[in-house]
Amino acid sequence: MSTHVPISKASPALLLEGVSKSFGSVIALKSGSLRMEPNSIHALIGENGAGKSTLVKIIAGVHQRDGGRLELAGEPVDFSNTAQSKDAGIAVIYQEPTLFPDLSVTENIFMGRQPTRGFRGIDRRAMRAQVKELFSQLGVNIDPDRPTRGLSIADQQIIEIAKAISLDARVLIMDEPTAALSGVEVERLFKVARGLRDEGRAVLFISHRFDEVFDLCDTVTIMRDGEYVATTAIEDTTVDELVRQMVGRDVSTLFPKEPADIGEEVLVVDGLNTRGLFHDVSFSVRAGEIVALAGLVGAGRSEIARAIFGVDNYDSGRVTVEGKSLRKHDPAAAMRAGIALVPEDRRNQGVILESSVARNSTLAIRRTLTRWGLLWPQAENTAAAHWAARLEVKTSALDAQAGTLSGGNQQKVVLAKWLATGPKVLIVDEPTRGIDIGTKSEVHRDLSTLAGQGLAIIMISSELPEVLGMADRVLVVHEGRITAEIDRADATPEAVMFAATHNKEAAA
Ligand SMILES: Nc1ncnc2c1ncn2[C@@H]1O[C@H](COP(=O)(O)OP(=O)(O)OP(=O)(O)O)[C@@H](O)[C@H]1O
Ligand SMILES: [Mg+2]
User: Which of 94, 222, 404 has most ligand 1 atoms within 8 Å of its beta carbon, as the pocket-test mutant?
Assistant: 404
Q: How far is the CA of 445 from the centre of ligand 2 (A)?
A: 23
Q: Strand 75-76 to strand 290-295: parallel, antiparallel, or no bridges (unpaired)? A: unpaired
Q: Which residues surround ligand 2, an ion (CB under 5 A)?
A: 53, 407
Residue 98 DSSP SS3: coil
Q: How far is the CA of 54 from the centre of ligand 2 (A)?
A: 7
One domain, residues 445 and 410:
no
pLDDT tens across 215-251, in order? 999 999 999 999 999 999 999 999 889 988 988 766 6
How many distinct structural domains can be found in the chain? 3
One domain, residues 359 and 293:
no
Using 50, 70 and 90 to split pLDDT, how confident is the model at 2? very low
Mean pLDDT for 355-376 is: 82
One domain, residues 139 and 95:
yes
Q: How many angstroms separate the first and last alpha carbons of the chain?
A: 43
Question: Does position 184 have pLDDT exceeding 60, yes or no?
Answer: yes
> Does a structural domain hold residue 311?
yes
Using 50, 70 and 90 to split pLDDT, how confident is the model at 179? confident
One domain, residues 175 and 114:
yes
Q: Could you give the CA distance from residue 253 to residue 344 in angstroms, rounded to a whole number? A: 22
Mean pLDDT for 130-141 is: 88
Range of lowest pLDDT (34-43, 55-64, 181-190, 483-492): 181-190
424 close to 456: Cβ distance less than 8 angstroms? yes
Question: Quick one: which ligand is closest to 32's CA?
Answer: 1
Q: Could you give the CA distance from residue 118 to residue 125 in angstroms, rounded to a whole number? A: 14
Mean pLDDT for 416-433 is: 90
With a 6 A CB cut-off, is 407 part of the ligand 1 pocket? yes
One domain, residues 18 and 102:
yes
> Does a structural domain hold residue 3?
no
Question: Residue with the nearest Cα to atom 7 of ligand 1?
Answer: 404
Q: Could you give the CA distance from residue 244 to residue 178 in angstroms, rounded to a whole number? A: 23
Out of 247, 263, 289, pick the residue that ends a domain. 247
Question: Quick one: which ligand is closest to 63's CA?
Answer: 1
Q: Could you give the CA distance from residue 374 to residue 228 in angstroms, rounded to a whole number? A: 47
Query: What is the CATH number for 273?
Result: 3.40.50.300
Residue 202 DSSP SS3: strand
Close Cβ partners of 24 (under 8 Å, ≥ 6 residues apart): 396
- DSSP label at residue 489: G
One domain, residues 325 and 363:
no
The C-alpha angle 308, 311, 312, rounded to 5 degrees, equals 80
Q: Which residue from 226, 227, 106 is spatially nearest to 166, judged by alpha carbons?
A: 106
One domain, residues 433 and 481:
yes
233 close to 218: Cβ distance less than 8 angstroms? yes
The residue segments making up the domain with residue 488 are 251-338+423-508
Q: Could you give the CA distance from residue 183 to residue 463 in angstroms, rounded to a whole number? A: 11
One domain, residues 224 and 287:
no
With a 6 A CB cut-off, is 54 part of the ligand 1 pocket? yes
Report which ligand 1 atom has the smallest distance to the Cα of 405.
Answer: 31
One domain, residues 18 and 148:
yes
One domain, residues 90 and 206:
yes
Question: Does position 398 have pLDDT exceeding 80, yes or no?
Answer: yes
One domain, residues 242 and 299:
no
Question: Residue with the nearest Cα to atom 25 of ligand 1?
Answer: 48
> Does a structural domain hold residue 506?
yes
One domain, residues 323 and 188:
no
With a 6 A CB cut-off, is 53 part of the ligand 1 pocket? yes
> Does a structural domain hold residue 366?
yes
> Does a structural domain hold residue 492?
yes
Question: Does position 272 have pLDDT exceeding 60, yes or no?
Answer: yes
**Residue 495 CB-density burial (10 A; 0-12 exposed, 13-18 middle, 19+ buried):** middle
Using 50, 70 and 90 to split pLDDT, how confident is the model at 138? confident
**Helix %, strand %, coil % for the chain, to 5?**
35, 25, 35
Report which ligand 1 atom has the smallest distance to the Cα of 394.
Answer: 29
Q: Strand 265-274 to strand 14-23: parallel, antiparallel, or no bridges (unpaired)? A: unpaired
> Does a structural domain hold residue 32?
yes
Q: What are phi and psi of 195, to 5 degrees?
A: -60, -45
Sign for the CA dihedral angle at 208, 211, 217, 219 comes to: positive
With a 6 A CB cut-off, is 432 part of the ligand 1 pocket? no
Average model confidence (pLDDT) across the chain: 88
Q: Which residue from 255, 246, 203, 184 is spatially nearest to 56, judged by alpha carbons?
A: 203
Report which ligand 1 atom has the smallest distance to the Cα of 395.
Answer: 31
> Does a structural domain hold residue 6?
no
Report the pLDDT value the prediction gives residue 68, as an integer from 0 to 100: 97
For residue 32, what are the β-bridge partners? Answer: 19
Question: Quick one: which ligand is closest to 395's CA?
Answer: 1
Report residue 422 CA to chain centroid gap: 25
Out of 183, 215, 247, pick the residue that ends a domain. 247
Q: How far is the CA of 49 from the centre of ligand 1 (A)?
A: 5
Question: Does position 129 have pLDDT exceeding 70, yes or no?
Answer: yes
Report the pLDDT value the prediction gives residue 364, as an integer from 0 to 100: 83
Out of 215, 247, 279, pick the residue that ends a domain. 247
> Does a structural domain hold residue 406?
yes
Report which ligand 1 atom has the smallest distance to the Cα of 54.
Answer: 18
For residue 269, what are the β-bridge partners? Answer: 283, 319
